[in-house]
Amino acid sequence: MSEQKTLIFGHKNPDTDTIASALVYAELKTRTGENAEAVRLGDVAQETQFALDHFGVEAPRRIDSASEETGSVILVDHNEFQQSVDDIENVTIREVIDHHRIANFQTEGPLLYRAEPVGCTATILLKLYKEQGEKPSKEMAGLMISAIISDTLLFKSPTCTKEDVQAAEELAVTAEVDLNEYGLEMLKAGADMSSKSTEE
Amino acid sequence: MSEQKTLIFGHKNPDTDTIASALVYAELKTRTGENAEAVRLGDVAQETQFALDHFGVEAPRRIDSASEETGSVILVDHNEFQQSVDDIENVTIREVIDHHRIANFQTEGPLLYRAEPVGCTATILLKLYKEQGEKPSKEMAGLMISAIISDTLLFKSPTCTKEDVQAAEELAVTAEVDLNEYGLEMLKAGADMSSKSTEE
Ligand SMILES: [Mn+2]
Ligand SMILES: [Mn+2]
Ligand SMILES: [Mn+2]
Ligand SMILES: [Mn+2]
């Protein structure tokens, strides 16, 4: 509809779900003809970098202000304003795709808000692909798996649901990875590096 | 899952969308095996009573407290706490289905939140039926049409979207009504009575 670019981003101090969900939702939006770009609000963690490298995807560009570039944003993997971009109150939140409680969030107008009580935003994004008759690319399927494994600690966290497991198993076919083998490698990559600063 | 009953209700000072959406979503929830009951937070308006009579549906029971009966509620057609049941902060909001801006709303835990920028909650509910492989009954289709006509003033309000029109046209087949003829009758029934108090 509009020619204005929409920025899609997750929370500050980004984790793998936040980075993956921004990239994945930007793919879906772009495919359905919208002018959307994934961005990030902080440094890429080592675990996330491992996932990006494994599937050959570049990290999104970092921003510190949204309103300098656009009036239109989509939040993924968060909704609380203090976790969002500093100037969140100066832009229009068109959509939120999230799996957290709602707090410190409000809008001036109606919006699309899709939250479900599942373990990971990527699990909800797979539903959105299906509802729109689309299928994630191999690269995006790989990032979605990485997000689910990260948020659920390889399906072991109490927040993990049957839907998260089913989504990961389905995506593993598209991404051509062994969930357990890849998952342990990715979590290990995050753990190995966690004692070093990201500047090293 | 749980045996605890879930109460489904719209806002105080209920309009046709609020009453219809509570009844309709309770039908869908009951069909999918949940223990759910539609209730209302205020008097039934004349327009709404006309719609209920026309499709042979009883008004939901009125409540003034939710926590006396259950710990589990679903909000339709609203989210702001001041428009909701007085003791909203003493119960768990499991779901919200709505088409308004989000404000004065928060939860302690994750939930299902489904808001879309369309003209009427009933339009979103039709999507939920489809996503769950269900079809509204003739009676519920009639109430959904009534809600869409009421919220969009027979498709003339600026909030009316293409999705609202398509939903109403599709539901008209199930409900066996002529949209224009029935819509004018219903709006007239509301207007005729609006000068009288509901106690008369
Ligand atoms: Mn996160
Ligand atoms: Mn997450
Ligand atoms: Mn209403
Ligand atoms: Mn409404």
Mean pLDDT over A38-64 rounds to: 98
The pLDDT of residue B199: 45
CA distance A189 to chain B (A): 29
pTM listed for this prediction: 0.94
CA distance A195 to chain B (A): 31
CA distance A101 to chain B (A): 4
pLDDT tens track for A67-98? 999 999 999 999 999 999 999 999 999 999 99
The pLDDT of residue A194: 52
List Cα–Cα distances, A101 to A15, A143, B8, B69, B72, in angstroms.
17, 24, 20, 24, 16
ipTM passes above 0.85: yes
Which residue spans within chain B are E strands per DSSP?
A: 6-9, 36-40, 61-62, 72-76, 92-98, 112-115
% pLDDT > 70, chain B: 94
The pLDDT of residue A162: 98
pLDDT beyond 80 at A200: no
The pLDDT of residue A112: 98
The pLDDT of residue B176: 97
C-alpha dihedral, B171 to A124 to A171 to A48, nearest 10°: 160
Which residues of chain B make contact with A126, given a CB cutoff of 8 A? Answer: none
CA distance A96 to chain B (A): 10
pLDDT beyond 50 at A34: yes
pLDDT tens track for B167-187? 999 999 999 999 999 999 999
Q: Cβ contact (<8 Å) for B115 and A116? A: no
List Cα–Cα distances, A130 to A125, A134, B44, in angstroms.
9, 6, 39
Q: Cβ contact (<8 Å) for B102 and A111? A: yes
Which residues of chain B make contact with A105, given a CB cutoff of 8 A? Answer: 102, 105-106
Q: Cβ contact (<8 Å) for B104 and A106? A: yes
Q: Cβ contact (<8 Å) for A102 and B99? A: no
What value does the mean pLDDT of chain A take? Answer: 95
| Interface membership of B82 toward A (CB under 8 Å) | no
| Interface membership of B114 toward A (CB under 8 Å) | yes
CA distance B151 to chain A (A): 14
Between CA B156 and CA B181, with CA B124 as vertex, the angle to 5 degrees is: 40
Which residues of chain A make contact with B105, given a CB cutoff of 8 A? Answer: 102, 105-106
Least confident of A2-16, A137-151, B73-87: A2-16
CA distance B59 to B49: 8
The residue type of B89 is: E
Compute the distance from residue A31 Cα to the ligand 1 centre, in Å. 24
Compute the distance from residue A11 Cα to the ligand 1 centre, in Å. 7
Q: Cβ contact (<8 Å) for A102 and B105? A: yes
pLDDT beyond 50 at B1: no
Which residues of chain A make contact with B119, given a CB cutoff of 8 A? Answer: none
Which of A74, A113, A118, A130 would best serve as a mutation to test chain B binding (most B beta carbons within 10 A)? A113
| Interface membership of A130 toward B (CB under 8 Å) | no
Tokens of B58: 């009883």
CA distance B167 to B148: 8
The pLDDT of residue B192: 75
pLDDT beyond 60 at B194: no
pLDDT beyond 60 at A197: no
Between CA B108 and CA A76, with CA B126 as vertex, the angle to 5 degrees is: 40
pLDDT tens track for A109-125? 999 999 999 999 999 99
Picking from A103, A107, A115, the nearest residue to B113 by CB comes out as: A115
Picking from A109, A117, A159, the nearest residue to B111 by CB comes out as: A117
Q: Are strands A112-115 and B112-115 parallel, antiparallel or unpaired?
A: antiparallel
Helix (H, G, I), strand (E, B) or coil at B168: helix
Mean pLDDT over B14-26 rounds to: 98
List Cα–Cα distances, B99 to A11, A111, A148, B197, in angstroms.
25, 8, 29, 29
